[in-house]
Amino acid sequence: MKFLRNIGRAMADAWRLTKPYFKSEEKFVAWGLLAAIIALNLVSVYLNVLYSYWYKIFYNALQAKDEPAFWGSIFTYRFIKGYPWFVPGFAEIAVFNILVGVYAFYLQQMLEIRWRRWITDNFVKDWLTGRAHYQISLMAEAGSPLDNPDQRIADDLRSFVSNNLSLGISFIANIVNLLSFIFVLWFLVPPLHIFGAVIPGYLVWTAIVYSLIGTYLTHVIGWKLIPLSFQQQQVDADFRFNLIRVRENTEQIALYGGEAEETIGLKQRFHAIYLNWWMIMKRTKALNFFTIGFSQVAIIFPILIAAPGYFTGLFTLGLLLQINNIFGNVQGSFSWFVGAYPQIVGWRATVQRLDGFERAVVAAHVQQNAAPGGEPGTMLRADDLAIDLPDGRKLFAQSHLAIARGEPMAITGASGSGKSTLFRMFAGIWPFGKGRVSRPVGRSMFLPQRPYFPLGSLKRAVAYPCQEYDVADQDVRAALEDVGLGSLAARLEQVDNWTLRLSGGEQQRLALARALIVKPDWLFMDEALSAIDEAAIGDLFALLRARLPETQIISIAHQDSVISLHARRARLTRGADGAMELITDAEKLVGE
Ligand SMILES: Nc1ncnc2c1ncn2[C@@H]1O[C@H](COP(=O)(O)OP(=O)(O)OP(=O)(O)O)[C@@H](O)[C@H]1O
């Protein structure tokens, strides 16, 4: 019962993931390809049935030493007496089999890549819209982690689509194969007379019992592979993620001389792969003993069952071998589950991981919507605002806060006091807390201390988050010149890992160039000048103000040289209840 319930749940999950594509704008192509693939597979079943009749003709010709019949069976069509259909020779069946086999697979691959493209686009979109990717990362800290979303999008989707198709199609083909051969076997073999009873289709019953026992035992031995396979995908992804971290932080690691530590860390990660793999190996060994043994017995089993009929003269050699072939097909189809078990195990684990991803994305959107919000206004304003940490601890408590347009404002406070988190709240990405935050109308831009650069050309790095094709080359060059990176202006097309290539100060200058291009109404800088040499800070700030006269600047800053550039100040300090509060320089605050 539990087994059937599990199968039902797996099918429901898989269907939920499958359905959208077959109802999408690509549905006609999808259904067309699927229908063609299934049709070709059915033709293949039909060719198999033809083969079984061909066997009989062929072996009877051999037994009768009938040379013309022998050659005829290889090259020409043969009409079988008593049957309403004809049997082509071996050559014709083989040619059709080749064509059907090649095109069934070709079309299956075509459907696979189209489906994968569609579902990957959708997963990427779901992950990136509504800041779900960020909320998912916060969920891990709030206690419901989703491991390696990248692997789920890249690897799990690939194997889901491919396993779904190959398992689904082979399942359908097997059912049709089974029904066709049961039909043939039932009528081909005379009923068994035993102890005065007559058992029609006794070989069919034998095949059913044999295969059901096989299926049941396979599941008993193999079901533990499902969680192990799930676990394997996770530890593999963890290991790869750690390798990527090393690649991305190669310079820091080299400077720290952290290679030995990294080696141990990677070894430990790999150890998790190793241990889990051992468990998979042991289970697979037990399963293989059974499935390989089962298939070995299946080679001889039908001959053993039918041989008495041959020896008593009831069957010709041709019929005996036909029965063997047909029984093999019936039993093979019944035992589909046995052979496909390892693939089903992988498929189930993949479906679980993708289902987990989808649920996490839904939860992430709910969490994002929980971020305090309010009607946009002319100023940045918060009422009854409280900010918590993901684990529920209180970080910031303030009933009221209003920042109007005016002179640049600097926000200061001790390390870890919550300045960046306050900015996250202003940006609307921090869901932990309550109150109303009314963000100013117009475009806001946030510059973090460590800028992010997408992989690609320098122009893409500067234009980000705008599309590089939406920004004119001369604007990018002018912005680079303005922020003192004129030497880069001639290299816009150069592709590099700019996070590794540029110095910390250059990276921050490049981020300022972005602000010059975007011209936001509100510019939030979170220690965005911290890596720039003291002598240049004043000039760069003056440049920002000159080029962006309409932009309201709010900076988080520690350095006096930066703070002094701001006419308005606010300070995060600990209030009476232990949570932080923002104390503003009231005289200079242009209030409500
Ligand atoms: N995603 C998070 N999960 C858990 N705790 C967090 C998270 N982000 C921030 N915190 C915690 O919230 C507190 C405030 O962090 P925040 O980065 O806002 O401080 P800050 O004032 O900007 O510090 P600094 O001046 O050092 O940059 C810190 O104790 C930090 O550990």
- Which of 368, 388, 411 is the C-terminal boundary of a domain? 368
DSSP readout, 486-551?
GGGGGGTT-EE-HHHHS-HHHHHHHHHHHHHHH--SEEEEESTTTTS-HHHHHHHHHHHHHH-TTP
CA-nearest residue, atom 31 of ligand 1: 416
pLDDT tens column, 239-282: 998 998 898 888 788 888 889 999 999 999 999 999 999 999 99
Asked whether residue 576 carries a pLDDT value surpassing 60, the answer given is: yes
- Do 213 and 263 lie in one domain? The reply is yes
Among 131, 137, 393, 421, residue to substitute to test ligand 1 (most atoms within 8 Å of Cβ) = 421
Number of domains forming the structure of the chain? 2
- Which of 315, 339, 368 is the C-terminal boundary of a domain? 368
Question: Which CATH number goes with the domain that contains 555?
Answer: 3.40.50.300
- Do 24 and 158 lie in one domain? The reply is yes
Is there a domain that residue 375 lies in? no
- Do 428 and 318 lie in one domain? The reply is no
Q: How far is the CA of 420 from the centre of ligand 1 (A)?
A: 7
Is there a domain that residue 188 lies in? yes
**CB-based contact 526:419 (threshold 8 Å):** yes
CA-nearest residue, atom 18 of ligand 1: 418
Among 139, 420, 556, 562, residue to substitute to test ligand 1 (most atoms within 8 Å of Cβ) = 420
What's the confidence (pLDDT) of residue 590? 40
Is there a domain that residue 175 lies in? yes
Point out the ligand 1 atom lying closest to the alpha carbon of residue 141. 3
- Alpha-carbon distance of 437 to 444, in angstroms, equals 14
- Do 15 and 156 lie in one domain? The reply is yes
- Alpha-carbon distance of 354 to 330, in angstroms, equals 34
- Do 405 and 300 lie in one domain? The reply is no
CA-nearest residue, atom 30 of ligand 1: 416
What's the confidence (pLDDT) of residue 78? 62
Point out the ligand 1 atom lying closest to the alpha carbon of residue 423. 18
Asked whether residue 386 carries a pLDDT value surpassing 90, the answer given is: no
pLDDT tens column, 66-112: 888 888 888 876 665 555 567 788 998 999 999 999 999 999 999 99
- Do 351 and 396 lie in one domain? The reply is no
- Choose the weakest-confidence range: 152-166, 180-194, 433-447: 180-194
- List CB contacts of 453: < 8 A, sequence separation 6 or more: 461, 464, 497, 498, 499, 507, 510
What's the confidence (pLDDT) of residue 77? 67
Asked whether residue 558 carries a pLDDT value surpassing 70, the answer given is: yes
% pLDDT > 70, the chain: 95
Is there a domain that residue 319 lies in? yes
What's the confidence (pLDDT) of residue 589? 40
185 pLDDT band, cuts 50/70/90, is confident
- The binding-site residues of ligand 1, defined as CB within 6 angstroms of any ligand atom, are 138, 141, 389-390, 395, 413, 415-421
- Do 61 and 174 lie in one domain? The reply is yes
Asked whether residue 142 carries a pLDDT value surpassing 70, the answer given is: no
Among 419, 424, 574, residue to substitute to test ligand 1 (most atoms within 8 Å of Cβ) = 419
- Alpha-carbon distance of 231 to 349, in angstroms, equals 9
More confident site: 148 or 124? 124
- Do 457 and 574 lie in one domain? The reply is yes
- Do 223 and 335 lie in one domain? The reply is yes
> What's the rounded mean pLDDT across residues 149-173?
91
Is there a domain that residue 155 lies in? yes
Asked whether residue 497 carries a pLDDT value surpassing 60, the answer given is: yes
Q: How far is the CA of 433 from the centre of ligand 1 (A)?
A: 14
511 pLDDT band, cuts 50/70/90, is very high
Is there a domain that residue 241 lies in? yes
Question: What ipTM is given for this predicted complex?
Answer: 0.96
Helix or strand run (H / E) with residue 32: helix 27-63
222 pLDDT band, cuts 50/70/90, is confident
- Do 107 and 195 lie in one domain? The reply is yes
What's the confidence (pLDDT) of residue 587? 39
**CB-based contact 262:254 (threshold 8 Å):** no
Average pLDDT, the chain: 87
**CB-based contact 185:326 (threshold 8 Å):** yes
Question: Which CATH number goes with the domain that contains 213?
Answer: 1.20.1560.10
Is there a domain that residue 373 lies in? no
- Alpha-carbon distance of 97 to 31, in angstroms, equals 23
Is there a domain that residue 461 lies in? yes
Asked whether residue 557 carries a pLDDT value surpassing 50, the answer given is: yes
What's the confidence (pLDDT) of residue 264? 93
Segments forming the whole domain that contains residue 132:
2-368
- List CB contacts of 462: < 8 A, sequence separation 6 or more: 471, 476, 479, 480, 492, 510, 513, 514, 517
DSSP readout, 261-276?
HHHHHHHHHHHHHHHH
- Which of 321, 347, 368 is the C-terminal boundary of a domain? 368
- Do 255 and 293 lie in one domain? The reply is yes
- Alpha-carbon distance of 288 to 278, in angstroms, equals 15
Asked whether residue 591 carries a pLDDT value surpassing 60, the answer given is: no
Long-range contacts of 315-318 (CB under 8 A, 24+ apart): 316/56, 316/59, 316/60, 316/63, 317/59, 317/60, 317/62, 317/63, 318/55, 318/56, 318/57, 318/58, 318/59, 318/60, 318/61, 318/63
- Do 293 and 179 lie in one domain? The reply is yes
- Alpha-carbon distance of 231 to 227, in angstroms, equals 6
pTM for this structure?
A: 0.80
- H-state helical runs in 312-372: 317-334, 336-369
Q: How far is the CA of 421 from the centre of ligand 1 (A)?
A: 6
CB atoms within 10 A of CB 197: 8
CA-nearest residue, atom 7 of ligand 1: 389
